Amino acid sequence: MSPLAADLRTMLDRARRVAVFTGAGISTESGIPDFRSPGGMWARMAPIDFRDFVRSEEMRREAWRRRFAQDPVMRAAEPNRGHRAVAALVRQGKAHSVITQNIDGLHQASGVPDRQVIELHGNTTYAACLDCGERYEIDAIRATFEKDETPPVCAKCEGLVKTATISFGQAMPEGPMLRAEAETRAADLFLVLGSSLVVYPAAGFPAMAKRNGAALVIVNREPTPLDEIADLVIHGQIGDVLGGTVGVN
């Protein structure tokens, strides 16, 4: 174990309650590209703003085309060593829940109970009506969309149907935000895994933890703007670093 990983092991051992906070970086080892790494999704296309989605049928069509183009990658993705290490921390009772910016459902797939995953940006593995909240499955939407590319509307209220994710410009989900805040305040160790920490308000949680007296640990391939306030920073692959530290393969 490297000296930094040994430091992390000691901090985990001493911690009473760990808040795990994950970003797209924990899922790259599962084959899902992140946004901001070189070659990530943003290098290829700008995200569609919520206002544009609501305003323009053409934008909705484009959003759904992109979602379906992503589908093979999303479906093939399985939890990796990093997800398994996080699930182990939850199972051991070290971590109570996982606050995630990810929309891929891989924490749940790795065995963290649904109620212990706090999704700040929603979930792309299903869709919902923006007005009444009715849930829709991606496959069913796709079957209809492929006929003439008409973007889906709700069968109950004719509201717009969108993947159950939070887009730029869309309000943050109240329940998950409150739970994430409570989890952050309850923690004495806040562990960031694979986030560039530039997307707010999500990126506000590590600083909140720090102000609240928790230790802050960041495991990320590249530097982040919060490295300077962290108690421990490890620039490495999450699977290796956390898998090795927690003893999970």
What whole-number distance in Å separates Cα of residue 47 and Cα of residue 41? 9
The total of other beta-carbon atoms located within 10 Å of residue 95's CB is 25
What whole-number distance in Å separates Cα of residue 63 and Cα of residue 69? 10
- Calculate the alpha carbon distances from 89 to 30, 40, 66, 99, 156 in Å: 19, 29, 34, 13, 41
Please report, as residue ranges, which positions from 188 to 207 form the binding site for ligand NAD (by CB under 6 A). 194-196, 199
Taking CB under 6 A as the criterion, the residue among 4, 7, 40, 160 binding ligand NAD is: 40
Binding mask 75-104 for ligand NAD (x = CB under 6 A): --------------------------xxxx
Which range in 34-42, 88-96, 175-183, 204-212 contacts ligand NAD by CB under 6 A? 34-42
At 22, is the secondary structure helix, strand, or coil? Answer: strand
25 binds, among Zn ion, ligand NAD, none (CB under 5 to 8 A by kind): ligand NAD
What whole-number distance in Å separates Cα of residue 135 and Cα of residue 123? 12
Structure tokens at 98: 């996982």
What whole-number distance in Å separates Cα of residue 246 and Cα of residue 12? 9
Binding mask 136-175 for Zn ion (x = CB under 5 A): ------------------x-xx-x----------------
Angle of CA points 66, 70, 76, to nearest 5°: 170
Q: Does 121 bind ligand NAD (CB under 6 A)?
A: yes
Taking CB under 6 A as the criterion, the residue among 238, 242, 243, 244 binding ligand NAD is: 238
104 binds, among ligand NAD, Zn ion, none (CB under 5 to 8 A by kind): ligand NAD
Q: Which of 96, 107, 121, 235 is catalytic?
A: 121
Q: Which is nearer to ligand NAD, 44 or 115 (CB)?
A: 44
Which range in 3-11, 126-134, 174-182, 216-224 contacts ligand NAD by CB under 6 A? 216-224
Question: Could you tell me how far CA 238 lies from the centroid of its own chain?
Answer: 14
* Whether 121 is catalytic: yes
Active site residues per annotation: 121
